[in-house]
Every structure is written in C-alpha cells, then in structure tokens.
Structure 1
Amino acid sequence: MKIAVWSGPRNLSTALMYSFANRADFTAMDEPFYAPYLAASGLDHPMSDAILTAHETGPQLVATACANDGEKAHKYMKHMPHHMLDGFPLDWTKDCVNIHLIRHPARVIASYAAKRENPTLHDIGYPQQLALFKRIGGHVVDSSEIRQDPEKALKNLCLMIGVLFDFAMLSWPNGPRSFDGIWASHWYRAVHQSTGFAGPEGDLPELTGPHRALCIETLPYYCDLLSNKTTLI
C-alpha cells in the first residue's frame, strides 16, 4: 500500500510521518517534490541551495519514485499541495490512499511565522490543498484529533485506510531520521526532541496585523476542507 499524506506546513505532518515510519512494515518519503518546486518556482526558502543540491529536482523522476513500491509492505509519503505546480505529474496518486491533514490556520500561521517571516496564503497552502482534494479525492483528517487522543485516532485512521494498527506508532526515538529531507535541521527541531505526539492543543493563538488578515483570508478554504473531514475520535 502507498499512502500519500497532503498538508501545509506546521500541521503535525512530520510527527505523523515519524509515527508511521516507526512501524516495521513502512518506509517513508519526506516531501519529495520540495526540490522540484524550488527549482521550478525560483522561490527563496530557508536552505534553498542545500535542498537543490541534495535532492532530485526533476518532477517526473520524483513522480516515478512515488509510484514505485517501497522496500517494505507499505510506503508513507509526506507531501505538500503547494509543491505541486502546474504541470507536475499527479497520475501516480491514483494508486495511493490520499489523506489530507488539516490544522486551524491560526495555529499554522503562528508556528510558521516563527520559522520564516511574513508567510503568504501560498506559503501555507490552503487554496492548493482544497483544489487538490477536489481533484484527487481522499480522506480529510484533523490533526488536532490525533493530538487529543493519539491511540484512538490512529486506530481509526488505520481502520479507515485498511492497515492494522501498530502500537509502535505511538512513540519513536528522539533525533533525526535517515529519510529526513536536508531541510530537517531548520524545520524539525521540535520533532527531533520528541518521542511521541504532543498533548492536546490549547486556546487558539491571538494573531494581529498581517497575520490576522492572512488567517481571515485562509478560513474559507480551511472550513471547506473541515466540512469534509472524517472524525477519528
């Protein structure tokens, strides 16, 4: 089985990748279209030069790698919808279980802005995620439910996608992973210090100025996705 999990940044996506990769029957791929996206867009991201040097930049070659089976029974792929620029192949997704992971935009914006200043609607990817969901279908999952009750949520997630639950998904050793993208040193510090999912999230952060305006702009896309979610707890 190939599982493609789509989310914007700061959505619990790395922790969920670590959770599945901690199973003995899963391999993992970490944002394989990030380098093609940077190469084609010319955008300046943290560690852009290192990413372009270390990772494959050809979208068709990456799509072929995504379509191939992994070394184990199942393969987990972490993807970001905004990495899929016009013309990038998507036919490989037909052979995947597609999961769309969402999080309230106020939390995403507050977390993203701590790592990269002045995020835009494009950076956090909600319009692209909604468009992708409408194009390829799949399951919408709220990351807050996984944090609220990891065991129950992951059991139901596994049931939904057709694999047996494994208690190894609930914890993992701290530190980086061999499948991490080279960008992990900038973005994954908190996850590298973790050994499991963080607890339930508190109140929404209070945003001001451009961050608040961005949240308001993002909410309709998020609410549309949320209306399609599968409840896990």
Structure 2
Amino acid sequence: MSKTHRIAVWSGPRNMSTTMMRSFGARADCVPVDEPFYAAWLVGAGEVHPMQEAILASQPADPDGVIAGLLAPLPEGKTVQYQKQMTHHMLPEFPLAWAPACAHAFLVRHPARVIASYVRKMEVLTLEAIGFPQQARLFDEIAAQTGKVPPVVDSDRILADPEGMLRRLCTALSLPWDAAMLSWAPGPKPEDGAWAPHWYDAVWKSEGFGAEAGALPVHTGVAAEIEKEALEIYERLLEYHV
C-alpha cells in the first residue's frame, strides 16, 4: 500500500503560493487543497474580503471541520495532498495539534516584492496583512509540534532554478521527484478557491514558473517601514533554506 504524503506549505499572500500549488497539482499522484482556512479566518478575525459571500459558501468556517477535511482519506489513486496554507489565516486560537500528521514547508519571498504585488490588489497594507509575523510564529510552533525544523524555500530562488529547487524541496519532504511539476496547462483548475477570479488572473495565464525576478521594487513611507520590519523575519527564515 502506497504511503500517503500530506504536505502543508505555509506562505504569506502574493508569494507565488498559487504557482507552487499549480506545480504540485501537475503531479498525477497529487490532490491540491487551496487555502482551506480562508473562510474560518474571515469569520474568526471579522475580516471582509473581495468575494466574501462566495468564500463563506464554499468552505467550512469551523476550524475543526477544516482539519477533519484535511485529514480525511484522499481520493482513489492519489497519494499526495498539497495544502496551500496561508500564514495569516491560521489564527493563534486555531488548533495545531493536527500538524504532526503532515510534512511542512515554508515558502518565503522578499517583502519588497510581496508589498508591490499586494498593493495592486488591496487598498490597506499592514505587516499582519502580508503574513510575516504569523509566518514566524507558525514556523516556531510547527517545529515544536512536530519535532522537526521545517524546510524553507524562497520564491526568487525557485524562479532562478525551478527544477533544482523543487528537487531539493521534494527531498526535504521525503517525496519522489516528478518532472511534471515544471509545467501545466493554463486556465482555471478544479481545486481553485472561490476567490480565484479576484486573485488568480496571472496564474490562469501561466504554463510554468516564468522568468527570473528582476530588481527589487523600491518603497517609501509606510510601505518602506513595513518592508523593514518584514525583512528581519524573512532573513531569519532564510537561514533554513533547503
């Protein structure tokens, strides 16, 4: 009987997380799960986001219900579950006792790039909105829960060497390498969340990882201050890059 691999990859928003979900979803053995705690976070945090009603109708808003779904048997023929997890969705009061049932990794991106992408979609920018403090907290908590330091991968390094970085990530997750992870057909996918029409326009056009990242955006004012705070967290997590 084939072993089931449940993989939770933790990212902030605008961090190439959907592209990574596409990559793993291109594997014939994998079933992706798109931001399973989104509705639970909206309710728990009292937030209002684009496509709010559609999101709440599409997912359980009870964290225990979300966890039960994540730990349920996989569809026939699937042995890998890829969870695209957003760090800001995991409120401190949400249970994490399920963490040892999964392998975990953290996807990071330079905050200058995250901020530039985020403000194109959302009007209000805060450090918490881009998920860096939550990523640091979850990194420490998951390491404590599982007894393992989660591997970290950086978006820019993946763009510079998709196959090399993905091979190293698969090794760190005890997952066989699959070259199918390097490309996929464009367009929406069945696993895309209800929020996809607002956020996934670029990913829907993609067929792979695309070009290497260019020069870092330069921010001023509040955005520059937020970048400075986020950079400390980013650089700490980079110490654990695969």
TM-score, structure 2 length as denominator?
Answer: 0.92
Matched, 1:103 2:103: no
Give the residue type in structure 2 aligned to 1:11.
N
Instruction: Find the aligned partners of 1:76 and 1:228 in 2 and give their Cα distance.
Output: 21
Structure 1 stretches of 4+ moved >3 Å:
none
Instruction: Summarize deviations over 1:107-160 as a string: whole Å, max 9, x none.
Output: 000000001012111111111101110111211111111110111111121122
Work out which of the residue numbers 12, 15, 19 in structure 2 matches 1:11: 15
Q: Size of the alignment, in residue pairs? A: 230
1:93 maps to 99
Work out which of the residue numbers 196, 206, 219 in structure 2 matches 1:194: 206
Q: How much has 1:228 moved relative to structure 2? A: 2.2
Work out which of the residue numbers 136, 140, 152 in structure 2 matches 1:134: 140
Work out which of the residue numbers 31, 34, 43 in structure 2 matches 1:30: 34
Matched, 1:58 2:58: no
Work out which of the residue numbers 31, 45, 48 in structure 2 matches 1:41: 45
Q: How much has 1:78 moved relative to structure 2? A: 0.4
Percent identity over the alignment?
A: 48
Correspondences of 1:112-123 after superposition (within 5 Å): 112-123=118-129
Q: How much has 1:58 moved relative to structure 2? A: 1.0
Gaps of 5+ in 1: none
Give the residue type in structure 2 aligned to 1:206.
V
Matched, 1:205 2:217: yes
Q: How much has 1:86 moved relative to structure 2? A: 2.5
RMSD: 1.1
Instruction: Find the aligned partners of 1:121 and 1:88 in 2 and give their Cα distance.
Output: 20
Correspondences of 1:159-178 after superposition (within 5 Å): 159-178=171-190
